[in-house]
């Protein structure tokens, strides 16, 4: 199995056109001397919000690349869509030949895959992207790469090894688990690519910014098993799956892990500021998160139940059920308990500070899931059969 764009986040697969179609699209000459932005993974969760935001800008010229565009809104005449994988021969060469700026959103960013499909995770997060970094450096293309807060590892540690509260881009050590704990496969691959990007920036003239997102959530996130994907989605979709099917909300290791949730609209706003500030952001690694939304997964479950029942008052209250990480995700899984970002650099470089609380962001997210999935889940035996909280 070969990983492709944004399947990462969703676990979806789709057919793709032959190389002739891809080449025909790529060789279309530009019609204006406008900066061209290529977005890899444009059809995924983040891309489905970023691409429309960029398309609203005057003179926008966007090349959107992904294996499918199910989540990307229709229309958008400023956007050229190329249905392809970064593994297609010549695709990265052709894209970097045309683009002034490349934004890389691709990865297999689903914890359920890190210790079950580790080789695919490594390829998607590292191996497949090294050629992109090299091409951007050789051709003097600016690269904005989405890494992950996972690179910080088990906990926030200062350079002296002492625990700290917040994860700082320039001072926090990156402390991962042992090799046999394959849950850290994704973080290790992402960290190594960051080091490759950094080295090309320092020694190869690459213009870059690395972004470390902290738990970005919003509409169009992930999939519902048995409906449009298979396997275990990330926590938000897993909880919605249970709510839609009447199952229990499963808390891995009791839901004691804490995360700092950021709404996707504010995340996109920060990305737009990075795009618009190439000089201040050159050679920088930047956290994008919301340290005010630091809550436990158990608390998230409670808030999601409240948001769901506010929109479906007749729904019964689901149970919260605990399972061990090994039982839920399989052997080799472990996790960090707390992830709180330092926001000082983002505030300084971007003049940006998120404000949307978790309580404010959950109702539109729940409404989106209801609109997209409620009718498709009703009476769907596959959706019910794959719900982890049902017998």
Domains and CATH numbers, the chain: 7-217+262-291 (3.40.50.720)
pTM of the model: 0.89
pLDDT for position 34: 62
pLDDT for position 118: 94
Label residue 96 exposed, middle or buried (CB < 10 Å: 0-12, 13-18, 19+): buried
3-state secondary structure of 244: helix
Under DSSP, the state recorded for 391 is -
pLDDT for position 389: 59
**Helical packing angle, 91-98 and 130-139, nearest 10°:** 30
pLDDT for position 387: 65
pLDDT for position 388: 64
Of 86, 43, 47, 79, give the one whose Cα is nearest residue 63.
Answer: 79
pLDDT for position 32: 46
Q: Which residue has the tokens 């605990």?
A: 322
Helix (H) or strand (E) holding 217, with range, is strand 216-217
pLDDT for position 222: 87
Label residue 250 exposed, middle or buried (CB < 10 Å: 0-12, 13-18, 19+): buried
Task: Give phi and psi for 123, each to the nearest 5.
Answer: -60, -45
Task: Give phi and psi for 51, each to the nearest 5.
Answer: -60, -50
Of 234, 236, 258, give the one whose Cα is nearest residue 155.
Answer: 258
Query: Are 65 and 39 contacting, i.e. CB atoms less than 8 angstroms apart?
Result: yes
CA-to-CA distance for 389 and 46, rounded, in angstroms? 28
Known catalytic residues are 186
- Tens digits of pLDDT across the chain (391 residues): 333 333 333 333 333 333 333 443 444 444 445 689 999 999 999 999 999 999 999 999 999 999 999 999 988 988 999 999 999 999 999 999 999 999 999 998 888 889 899 999 999 999 999 999 999 999 999 999 999 999 999 988 888 888 898 999 999 999 999 999 999 999 999 999 999 999 999 999 999 999 999 999 999 998 888 888 888 889 999 999 999 999 999 999 999 999 999 999 999 999 999 999 999 999 999 999 999 999 999 999 999 999 999 999 988 889 999 999 888 888 878 888 899 999 999 999 999 999 999 999 999 999 999 999 999 988 777 776 666 655 4
3-state secondary structure of 336: coil
């Amino acid at each position: 199995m070969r990983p492709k764009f944004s399947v990462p986040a969703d676990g979806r697969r789709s057919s793709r056109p032959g190389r002739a179609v891809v080449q025909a699209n790529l060789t279309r000459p530009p019609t204006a001397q406008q900066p061209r932005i290529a977005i890899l993974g444009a059809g995924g969760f983040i891309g489905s919000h970023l691409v429309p935001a960029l398309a609203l800008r005057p003179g926008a010229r966007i090349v959107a690349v992904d294996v499918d565009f199910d989540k990307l809104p229709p229309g958008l005449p400023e956007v050229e869509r190329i249905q392809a994988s970064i593994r297609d021969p010549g695709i990265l060469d052709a894209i970097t030949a045309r683009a002034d700026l490349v934004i890389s959103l691709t990865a297999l960013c689903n914890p359920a895959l890190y210790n079950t499909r580790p080789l695919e995770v490594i390829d998607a997060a590292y191996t497949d992207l090294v050629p992109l970094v090299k091409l951007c450096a050789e051709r003097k293309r600016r690269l904005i790469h989405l890494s992950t807060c996972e690179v910080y590892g088990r906990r926030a540690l200062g350079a002296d090894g002492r625990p700290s509260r917040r994860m700082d881009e320039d001072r926090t050590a990156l402390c991962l688990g042992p090799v046999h704990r394959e849950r850290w496969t994704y973080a290790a691959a992402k960290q190594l690519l960051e080091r490759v990007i950094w080295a090309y920036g320092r020694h190869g003239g690459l213009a870059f910014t690395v972004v470390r997102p902290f738990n970005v959530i919003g509409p169009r996130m992930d999939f519902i098993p048995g409906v449009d994907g298979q396997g275990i989605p990330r926590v938000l979709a897993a909880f919605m799956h249970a709510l839609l099917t009447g199952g229990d909300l499963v808390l891995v290791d009791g839901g004691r892990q804490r995360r700092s949730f950021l709404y996707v609209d504010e995340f996109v706003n920060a990305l737009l500021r990075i795009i618009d500030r190439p000089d201040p952001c050159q050679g920088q690694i930047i956290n994008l998160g919301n340290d005010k939304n630091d809550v436990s997964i158990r608390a998230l479950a409670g808030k999601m139940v409240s948001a769901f029942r506010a929109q479906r008052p007749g729904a019964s209250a689901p149970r919260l059920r605990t399972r061990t990480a090994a039982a839920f995700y399989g052997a080799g899984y472990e996790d960090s308990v707390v992830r709180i970002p330092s926001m000082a650099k983002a505030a300084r470089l971007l003049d940006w500070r998120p404000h949307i609380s978790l309580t404010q962001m959950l109702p539109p997210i729940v409404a989106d899931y209801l609109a997209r999935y409620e009718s498709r889940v009703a009476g769907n035996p596959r959706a019910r059969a794959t719900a982890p909280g049902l017998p």
